[in-house]
Chain A
Amino acid sequence: MSELTKKGIGGFLARQGILVAFALFIIGFSLANARFLDPDNIMGVVRSSAILGVMALGVTFVVISGNLDLSVGSMMSFSTIVVLDLHDKIGPTMAIPAMFAMTLALGAFIGFLVGYLKLNSLIVTLGMLSAIHGLTLTYSGGKNMDIADKEGTWFSVFGQGDALGIPVPILIFVLLAALLGIALAKTPFGRKVYAVGGNGTAATFSGIRRARVVFSCYLMSAFCVATAGLIQASRSMGSQNTVGQGLELEVLAAVILGGASLLGGSGTIFKTVIGVLILGFIQNGLLLVGLEFYVQFVVTWIIIILAVWLDIAAKRGKLWSPIA
């Protein structure tokens, strides 16, 4: 094999490694259990990944712009609780826009702190994780929220409905992914997000208003969180205050698996979707071959480290780090 082809194959593996790994997983699991490739099973996995996936779409924007969002989990709990509570008070037609407005206000607050005040996003969103959790508990008084009349409302359509034979959560996920994918890849705004994350100073010097871009990314993230909260609320028609707890890290894991760098400037919506699906299918595959749910934690750990390591190794051209 010539040197060139070797490099070509290595380069391809490095660039599309995550897709190759995904394919290997699918093949492995489908050999282990025939039900894995059953259309019903696949539909089920995508459907249950939709909530995580929708949140990951927004966080992708934030991560590409060079920031983090650890508050999405508790923000999702907030929007779920709020929309369930308002559903019985002012009816679903009013409750949904009201909930979106409140969640977007939280996103705008974070965007203001990180974008305009230039505060460290890790600490700000860590603080907001705690603060929004407190807000949710204050709002609900610590009680679980339930919709009183579960049968007589069309609210269940977002989480449980079908359209054209496809579950609505999947439709929302796919639609939002397409929309945001185009926004990121094909519009001036998307290019600004990459520019700000890649080199903030250079972006500022070329006339991009960094603060405004970062602010918009957090708004985008809050919008996705509100959508996820809506699906969650509509699916279960009742919820605890901690429904989204821990999701922020799963979301981040999906985005990182998709190959976005935490330093900003790289990643795509398509790759994030792949990351979400990998997490979903691993979880499902491990359950189908008869392992306990917590085995997936360990497997996810190994996959995350390997994925990021190989990505970095390909970029620097060496497997081991040069740190002495």
Chain B
Amino acid sequence: MQAGTLSKFLKNGAIWGFIVLELIFFSVAGEFLSVSDKAFMDADNMLLLFKQSAPIGIIAMGMTIVMINGNIDLSVGATYAICAVVLLDSMTWPMFAGLGDGVIFVGWGLALLTGLVLGALNGLIVWKTGVDAFIVTLGSMLGYRGLVFMYNGEQPTSHLNWTLVDFAEAQFLGLHTPTWFLLIVTVAIWFLMNRTVHGRNAYAIGNNREAAVNAGIRVGPHMMINFMIIGFLAALSAIVFYSESGSVNPNDGELYELWVITAVVLGGTKLTGGAGSIISTFGGVVAIQLLRKGLAHIGADTSTVNLVIGLILIAVLFLDRQLNVKGREELKV
């Protein structure tokens, strides 16, 4: 095996190796430390793990393509909150009262539309003004959060529709509804990035924007489409979560952007753009959720989870750089 192949294999497989390590560690440590007598790798526990990863995971898929494209979106948490408010509030509007349970589709449609529009607004500003996506979405993170508050003040927005709750809690072929959403989104985004012109162009733009421009790729529309996709997915994530919980606080979704970016970076996507894989992001999402669940399983509290995830993020960055140093030196020659 050549050295290059080995380091490539290490890089692509790293996240899965990490997941296996986590599983072994928490299973063994759980035998000694856990207060519960249930095994960590219990089937129900693992199914629950996928279900709980869904809200972050769905947004992480969108973040991966935005980051591959060379941008970043800090406003996803606020977008998520607005879409949740729209979803729950629109189902109570009197004009839809005659629809019965059909109101669910109205709520979903409006929430997804809201996500698309907010994403498009971010994308349009990045495209037309040329301001860095970090600053644009930092601003809209504040702005969109302000819109959430302006919508309903500091009160929570609540509405439970039992048909919807039943749907969100249902299991199909053993998997929960949110898990299905996560899987479908993962497959769809994988297809988009690996089998379509848009995906290939997104990689090309992130890798070398000037070369992409010279090759005749229209950079702006591609960036805007990616921002619309992440807005749409933030809305979908809100739908998955709030269909079941039925109540949203104006502060909900805060720090989501950080969790999402952590998952994406753990999956190996580069902040500089041009590289990243949807499947590895899926691994990153599972790894984080596994860590949270595992630490809880062995009796550690949330403070340890924060500490460990932060340090792992830095360690991954360091290892990734060590693995890449060789390749970079070859390029310089």
Contact = CB atoms under 8 A, between A and B. Distances in A.
Contacts of A136: 303
A1 interface: no
Given A292-B149, A320-B128, A321-B130, A118 B258 contact: no
Interface string B23-51: 00000000000000000000000000000
A117 B320 CA distance: 12
A127 interface: yes
A232 B231 CA distance: 37
B136 A305 contact: yes
Interface size class for chain B? Answer: 35 or more
Most buried by A among B134, B138, B142, B311: B142
Contact of A120 (B74, B128, B258, B317): B317
Interface in B275-330: 301-314, 317-318, 321
B138 A296 contact: no
Contacts of B138: 249, 252-253, 256, 304
Interface string B74-102: 10000000000000000000000000000
Contact of A119 (B220, B254, B312, B317): B317
A118 B317 CA distance: 10
Nearest to A117: B318
Contacts of B134: 262
Nearest to A141: B303
A302 B129 CA distance: 13
Contacts of A296: 146
A301 B139 contact: yes
B218 A302 contact: no
B125 interface: yes
A127 B312 CA distance: 8
B141 interface: yes
Interface string A97-140: 00000000000000001000111101110111111111111100
B130 A129 contact: no
Contacts of A118: 321
Contacts of A321: 127-130
Given A130-B310, A134-B303, A134-B310, A295 B131 contact: no
B75 to A, nearest CB: 10
A41 B185 CA distance: 52
A12 interface: no
B73 to A, nearest CB: 13
Contacts of B58: none
A135 B220 contact: no
B143 interface: yes
Interface of A: 113, 117-120, 122-124, 126-138, 142, 246, 249, 252-253, 256, 262-263, 292, 294-298, 300-302, 304-305, 308-309, 312-313, 316, 320-324
